[in-house]
Amino acid sequence: MVIMSVAPSSQTFQPVLERIADEIGRTPGRGRAADYIPALAACDPRSFGMAVAGLDGTVYGVGEWRRPFSTQSITKVFTLALDLAREGDELWEHVGREPSGNPFNSLVQLEYENGIPRNPFTNAGALVVTDRLQTRTGDAAGELLSFLRAESGDPTLDFDTEVAASEAAHGDRNAALAHFMASYGNIDNPVPVLLDQYFRQCSIRASCADLALAAGFLARHGVRADGSRLLTRSQAKQVNAVMLTCGTYDAAGDFAYRVGLPGKSGVGGGIIAVVPGRCTLCVWSPGLDERGNSVAGVAALDRFTTLTGLSVF
């Protein structure tokens, strides 16, 4: 096996992606699609797409890299960035920055930590961030959608009403989390309003190309596609750090060990990853492992960092 020993120029991304897609296509055992959200259960777990976006917006891709899929928890990165840009460090008084070690929808830690979620990527933490963005904008989900459309250059991005309705119909655990945190004064908006915003947020459909482009501000140290600044360099570092330590549910340690990049997964089968100063990636394959991460997606990112030498370590 030949492994590149130095980081490649962007021109080498396409053959690397093609090699990864070929290897993934020959790999048996690709996990199961999320079945607790009925609208996602019908996805073929062997579907696969992957895209890499350079700092200049050039995108390389393989497989079904332009096929929209349900972004789910990937959107938590963007709502975090949008709220952090507005309120700065005050946000961290309401949500922590530590790995949870528990499932993403767990209630366990909230009681003995006085309604303060462990990090912004658990469901509880994401509800707090969405709530705070809702207070500041009046339409958190709409603000998120506008941002994703602008950064991806794709005005067709939209909510999936079927997925949002499906999540609302099976959203008792999220409602319990929101009510519990509200009892500690850590939720500002009426819980039904917050849940509607949160389910719409998670229902957004986007492709690997869209998400790789949309996450580019994290590789550009906080600078948006149009050259304006969303986050300070320090804030972009903060978001990337929390992604590295908390972005893949309670498998973040294994992801950091295998991939070595800040990343955020979603139960729709997508994962975004950031190489600061170089590029952003998105991979999609809906077959999940027992912790809710894409089996093929993690494997593909592992191969990408191995073949290119691109890593934060």
The residues carrying an active-site annotation are: 73, 76, 198, 249, 267
Q: Which residues of 24-41 are buried (b: 16+ CB within 10 A; e: fewer)?
A: beeeeebbebbeebebbe
Q: What residues have CB less than 8 Å from 172, skipping those under 6 apart? A: none
Residue 153 near residue 216, CB atoms below 8 Å: no
**How many angstroms separate the CA atoms of 133 and 120, rounded?**
13
The residue written with tokens 């490649």 in the block is 8
Q: How many helices (H) and strands (E) does the chain have?
A: 14, 7
| Secondary structure element (H or E) that encloses residue 51, with its range | strand 49-54
Q: At 97, list the tokens.
A: 């920055």
Query: What is the separation of C-alpha 277 from the centre of its chain, rounded to a whole number of angstroms?
Result: 19
